[in-house]
Structure 1
Amino acid sequence: MRAPIFQLDAFTTRRFAGNPAAVVVLDRFLDDALLQAVAAENNLAETAFVVPSEGRYRLRWFTPTVEVPLCGHATLAAGAVVIERLEPGRDSVVFDTASGPLTVGREDTGYRMDLPARTVRAVPPSPALSAALGVTPVETVTDGYNYLALLAGAGDVRSLQPDLAAIACLDRTGVVVTAAGDGTYDFVSRYFAPAKGIPEDPVTGGAHCALVPFWAARIGKDAFFAYQASRRGGELTCRLHGDRVRLHGSCVFYLDGSIEV
C-alpha cells in the first residue's frame, strides 16, 4: 500500500530550523511493528501517524525506537497537515491520542496547540545526573517522565555538553535543562532523550508541558516567550491555562510525497 507523507519543520518560520517531524496519513493504524519500522526509516525525532475518525483524527507518535505518549512538535505538524493539505480552509482539528483530546487551530501566522500540563515535584540531588550533565543543577525536579534540571544561567544551558551515554542510563527517559532567559526570552531550555533514540531534540512541545508550570510557580507569570537552544533552535509562545499548557508556533512544509509499505 501507498500512504501520503509530509515532512515539516515545527516551531519555526524558516526551513532547516525548528524541529522536523514526519506526518503519515493512513486510513487505519497498521501493525505496531510496521509503524515502528516506518518511524525508524524516517529517522526523525518523531513520526506522527494520523487516521481520520468521524470529523476528528486519531494520532500516534513514534521515535526511531519507541512509541511515546505525547509529542508536541509532531502534533503541531499534524495539525498543519490537516488544515493546510487534507482539509484546506479548516480552522482547527481535534486529535484523539493516548494523552486525551488535543486541539490544534490556526492563529495569526501560525498555530495554537493545547496540551496537558505536567505536575513537577522536587527530587533529591542526583550524583548520576550531575555526572551525566557535567554540572551540578541548582535545583532538580521530575515530571514523572523526565528530570528537569535548573542551571545557573542561560549560558550554561547553551554551552552544555552532556554525556549522552550516561543520560541514557538514568532512571528517567529524558533530561530537560533550563535557566532564566537572556535577551527577549523568559527562559531557555534543551532536551536530551537518548534512551528514546533522540540524542537531543531540537524543539520539544512536551517538555514545555512541565517547563511552563515550573516557571509559572517560580516567577508568578502565566505567559512566556521561550527558546529551546539546540543547534537548530526554536521559539515558543507559551501560556499556562488551568491544567493545560497552550503553545503557539509556526510550521514550514519541507516535503510532500508518499511511502510504500
Structure 2
Amino acid sequence: MGLRIIQVDAFTNRPFSGNPAAVCVLEAPRPAVWMQAVAREMNLSETAFLHRESSGYRLRWFTPEAEIALCGHATLASAHVLWEEGHSRAPMLEFHTLSGLLTATRAGNWIEMNFPTEPVMPAELPPTLLEAIGAKPVFTGKTPVRFFVELESAEVVRKLRPNLSLLAQVPPGRLIVTARSDDPRYDFVSRYFAPGIGIPEDPVTGSAHCALPVYWAPKLGKKEFMAYQASARGGELRVTLTSDRVFIQGQAVTVMRAELVDQVEGQWLMVDG
C-alpha cells in the first residue's frame, strides 16, 4: 500500500473555498529533499508532513519551492486530519515545529491554534515595492518575515492587483495588505502575497494573523476579532490576542484522499540513499 495524502480546505466549512493544504502523516521521518519533491508535485501553497515525536508530532511545512518556519492553514489542516482519520483522540494536539511548540484544541466545530505573535514595526518601503503594490498606503511597515501595509479601504484591498514580478524582486517577497472591514460581520480584511516563496497569492493565511491583530488591537481598541481574508476563495478566522500569543480559530473540510504509490516512494528512497 502506498502513502496516504489528504487534501483539506482550511479556514472554511465549505469545499472549494478557504485555503487548500495537503497533509501527509508519516510512520517515520523522511528526507527533506523527498518532502520538497512531494510538495512540488502537490503544487499547493503548503504541504504538511507529520510523524510522532515525544508527546505529540513533528510538523514541517513545504511550499512548492521551500520549507517555511510557520504555516497556519496547514497546521489547521493537520489537526483536522489527525482527528478525522483517527490518528489521535487527544483533545489537544502538540506540534514540534521550527517555530517552537504549537498546539491545536477542539473548540466546538472550530479548531483553535496557539501561535506566537508577530510584531509590526513602521518602516519605509523600497520604491520598487511601492510600485509593485500599485495603491497608496495608509501605513507601511515590516514584521520579522514580511512587509505590512494598510490600505485606505476594504474595497481597495479586494480590488488590488499588485505586480507580483516586482514584489518577488524585493526580499523576502512577502506582503500583507489590510484595511478596516466594510462588512459588519468582520473587524478587518486582508490579503497575502508571497511570490518570493513561490506563492503568488495565498487564499487564507493563518500565520499572517499572528501580525494582523497586533496591528489592529490599538487601532480598534479590542483584542478579539473576526477576520476575513478577501482572496478569490475567501476565508474566516476568529482571532484573540494576548500579551505574546495569538489564538486563531478556523474550520476545515476534507476534499480529497489520495495515495502516493510504492514505486514512486521506492525511487525516491533510492535516490536519497
**Superposed displacement of residue 108, structure 1:** 1.2
Is residue 236–residue 248 contact of structure 1 (8 Å, CA) maintained in 2? Answer: yes
**Superposed displacement of residue 95, structure 1:** 0.4
Residue 123 of structure 1 pairs with residue 123 of structure 2: yes
Structure 2 residues not aligned, in runs of 5+: 266-273
**Superposed displacement of residue 128, structure 1:** 1.7
Is residue 203–residue 228 contact of structure 1 (8 Å, CA) maintained in 2? Answer: yes
Instruction: Name the counterpart of 1:233.
Output: 234
Matched AA of 1:158: R
Instruction: Name the counterpart of 1:186.
Output: 187
Aligned equivalents of 1:254, 1:24: Cα separation in 2: 14
Instruction: Name the counterpart of 1:145.
Output: 145
**Superposed displacement of residue 57, structure 1:** 0.4
Instruction: Name the counterpart of 1:30.
Output: 30
Instruction: Name the counterpart of 1:15.
Output: 15
Q: What secondary structure is seen at the aligned counterpart in 2 of 1:200? A: strand
Instruction: Name the counterpart of 2:271.
Output: none
Is residue 125–residue 141 contact of structure 2 (8 Å, CA) maintained in 1? Answer: no
TM-score by length of 2: 0.93
Matched AA of 1:71: C
Instruction: Name the counterpart of 1:243.
Output: 244
Q: What secondary structure is seen at the aligned counterpart in 1 of 2:182? A: coil
**Superposed displacement of residue 20, structure 1:** 0.2
Instruction: Name the counterpart of 2:6.
Output: 6
Matched AA of 1:138: V
Is residue 171–residue 196 contact of structure 2 (8 Å, CA) maintained in 1? Answer: no
Aligned equivalents of 1:35, 1:188: Cα separation in 2: 33
**1:72-221, aligned counterparts within 5 Å?**
72-87=72-87, 89-183=89-183, 184-221=185-222
Report the identity percentage: 46
Is residue 226–residue 237 contact of structure 1 (8 Å, CA) maintained in 2? Answer: yes
Matched AA of 2:191: R
Q: What secondary structure is seen at the aligned counterpart in 2 of 1:156? A: helix
Q: What secondary structure is seen at the aligned counterpart in 2 of 1:232? A: coil
Aligned equivalents of 1:142, 1:29: Cα separation in 2: 35
Aligned equivalents of 2:201, 2:123: Cα separation in 1: 23
Instruction: Name the counterpart of 2:270.
Output: none
Change (3 A) 1:75 1:239: same
Aligned equivalents of 2:21, 2:85: Cα separation in 1: 15
Aligned equivalents of 1:126, 1:187: Cα separation in 2: 25
**Superposed displacement of residue 199, structure 1:** 0.4
Is residue 50–residue 60 contact of structure 1 (8 Å, CA) maintained in 2? Answer: yes
After superposition, the C-alpha distances for 1:84-135 in whole angstroms (9 at most, x for unaligned) are 2133543221000000111111111121111110111110243222200111
Farther off after superposition, 48-57 or 93-102: 48-57
Aligned-residue RMSD, C-alpha: 1.2
Q: What secondary structure is seen at the aligned counterpart in 1 of 2:144? A: coil
**Superposed displacement of residue 61, structure 1:** 0.1
> What is the aligned residue count?
261
Farther off after superposition, 170-179 or 44-53: 170-179
Change (3 A) 1:252 1:129: same
Is residue 79–residue 93 contact of structure 2 (8 Å, CA) maintained in 1? Answer: yes
Aligned equivalents of 1:172, 1:218: Cα separation in 2: 27
Aligned equivalents of 1:89, 1:53: Cα separation in 2: 16
Aligned equivalents of 1:220, 1:127: Cα separation in 2: 32
Aligned equivalents of 1:245, 1:173: Cα separation in 2: 24
Aligned equivalents of 1:129, 1:218: Cα separation in 2: 25
Farther off after superposition, 25-34 or 91-100: 25-34
TM-score by length of 1: 0.97
Matched AA of 2:229: Q
After superposition, the C-alpha distances for 1:63-85 in whole angstroms (9 at most, x for unaligned) are 00000000000000001111121
**Superposed displacement of residue 235, structure 1:** 0.5
